[in-house]
Amino acid sequence: MSGTSLDGVDAVLADFSAEPPQLIASQHIGFDTALRAELLALNQPGNNELERAALAAIHLTRHYAMAVQALLTQQKISAQQVAAIGCHGQTVRHRPELGYTLQLNNPALLAELTGISVVADFRSRDIAAGGQGAPLVPAFHAAAFSHPKKHRVIVNIGGIANLTDLPVSGKITGFDCGPGNMLLDAWCAAQTGHAFDDNGAWAASGKVIPELLTPLLQAPYFQQHPPKSTGRDLFNSAWLQPFLRAEYAPQDVQATLMQLTVQSISQAIKDYCAGAQAVFVCGGGARNGALMNALRQAFAVNGVPVAPTDSLGVAAEQVEALAFAWLARQTLQGKAGNLPAATGAKHACVLGAIYPGTGA
């Protein structure tokens, strides 16, 4: 998995021969500066972008292959022992309202480089069936984290934040809440030169600006009813710019953006996950101490605990990669991978396309 945070590739080696699935090992391969910059640039129209996108996909796929090889070497496992690689690709456009989503990837090359069958292009079938193509992880969250007696909510805070509602009985739902780390990372990079705000320390040094936070929370996306999904196409630096004033201290803007993430998540849970008894957080945001503390404060009034998914047996930064391994297995078995209640699709679908490995 490589997500909207653009920090690199997260890969896991998983065994699905028993329930719950066993996460054997994980690996992270960071993006070099040039690749990260190009992937970010390709989120906007630009010169010669078709060729640039194809070349970036090749570069990206070589990172995927490095992550796979590192896992195999680390665990002394041969490629022949692996059923498939689930590879999501890097989202550079997400416009389900126009009937498409675009993830940079070269699964044929990945199959050649690794010799392992690759399952890719997970989102397009859901969109073809009238869905948003996102979020796709709720089906996995339901399989891995549901509890027979406790109403849980799983919140993934990557570049975008999304949630999965797991009631004890009734319909499992999920949707994108709004920005997660995306605006925080962009503002931090622009103001400090650092790719992200380590542990939220810079945000914690600032004060929330009410006259900035209020109009941000009034953005039309937050008023839309689910199913809904979003990405960099909406929440980006250009979207933020008109709300800013010269007198705002940079650290106060950072504190306000963190509170935007917190309040959009907490409001979404209040509105659509009534009766939730516990919130579990995955994604990079789970490692932001200031953000997690702010989330805990937001839910403390109702006595709802907030904790990383580590406490459920899966490290926060490994959940999404494990989810796409699970989705790949669903594809190989001819089983649906989407939840229509989460994506808005007309029906459940088998997702993805299979690229056989050289040994298949």
What is the model's pLDDT at position 3? Answer: 84
Mean pLDDT of 135-156: 96
What is the model's pLDDT at position 320? Answer: 94
- Rounded-to-integer distance, Cα 300 and Cα 16, Å: 36
Burial class (CB in 10 A: 0-12, 13-18, 19+), 205: middle
Residue with tokens 């309202």: 97
Task: Provide φ and ψ at 352, rounded to 5°.
Answer: 90, 165
H helices of 193-347, in order, are 201-204, 210-217, 220-223, 237-240, 250-272, 289-300, 319-332, 340-343
CATH of domain 138-316: 3.30.420.40
**What distance, in Å, lies between the first and last C-alpha atoms of the chain?**
23
Q: With bands split at pLDDT 50, 70 and 90, how would you rate the model's confidence at 7? A: confident
Q: What is the DSSP letter of 313?
A: T
What is the model's pLDDT at position 360? Answer: 57
Q: Is the pLDDT of residue 126 over 70?
A: yes
> pLDDT > 90: what percent of the chain?
96
Q: Where are the beta strands (DSSP E) in 214-358?
A: 278-282, 306-308, 353-355
Contacts of 302 (CB under 8 A, 6+ apart): none
Query: What radius of gyration, in Å, describes the C-alpha atoms of the chain?
Result: 20
List C-alpha distances in Å: 182 to 32, 158, 186, 188, 355: 18, 8, 6, 10, 32
On average, the pLDDT of the chain sits at 96
What is the model's pLDDT at position 68? Answer: 98
Q: Residue 148, SS3?
A: coil
Nearest to 212 by CA among 251, 240, 236, 173: 240
The kind and range of the H/E element at 142 are helix 138-145
Mean pLDDT of 178-202: 96
Q: Is the pLDDT of residue 358 over 80?
A: yes
Q: Check: pTM over 0.85? Answer yes or no.
A: yes
Of the candidate CATH numbers 3.30.420.40, 2.40.50.140, 3.40.50.150, 3.40.50.261, the domain formed by 8-133+324-355 belongs to: 3.30.420.40
Lowest mean pLDDT among 12-21, 135-144, 230-239: 12-21
What is the model's pLDDT at position 182? Answer: 95
Q: With bands split at pLDDT 50, 70 and 90, how would you rate the model's confidence at 342? A: very high
Q: With bands split at pLDDT 50, 70 and 90, how would you rate the model's confidence at 4? A: confident
**Residue 327 CB neighbours (<10 A):** 24
Mean pLDDT of 117-146: 96
- Rounded-to-integer distance, Cα 12 and Cα 8, Å: 13
H helices of 42-82, in order, are 49-75
Q: Residue 81, SS3?
A: helix
**CA 222 centroid distance within chain:** 18
What is the model's pLDDT at position 163? Answer: 98
Q: Is the pLDDT of residue 140 over 80?
A: yes
Mean pLDDT of 7-11: 93
Kindly report, residue by residue over 48-103, the tens digit of the pLDDT. 999 999 999 999 999 999 999 999 999 999 999 999 999 999 999 999 999 999 99
Residue with tokens 């997702």: 351
Q: Which amino acid type is present at position 258?
A: M
> pLDDT > 70: what percent of the chain?
100
Q: Where in the chain is the domain with CATH 3.30.420.40?
A: 8-133+324-355, 138-316
Q: With bands split at pLDDT 50, 70 and 90, how would you rate the model's confidence at 257? A: very high
Q: Which amino acid type is present at position 55?
A: L
- Rounded-to-integer distance, Cα 136 and Cα 146, Å: 16
In this structure, are residues 291 and 200 in contact, taking their beta carbons and an 8 Å threshold? yes
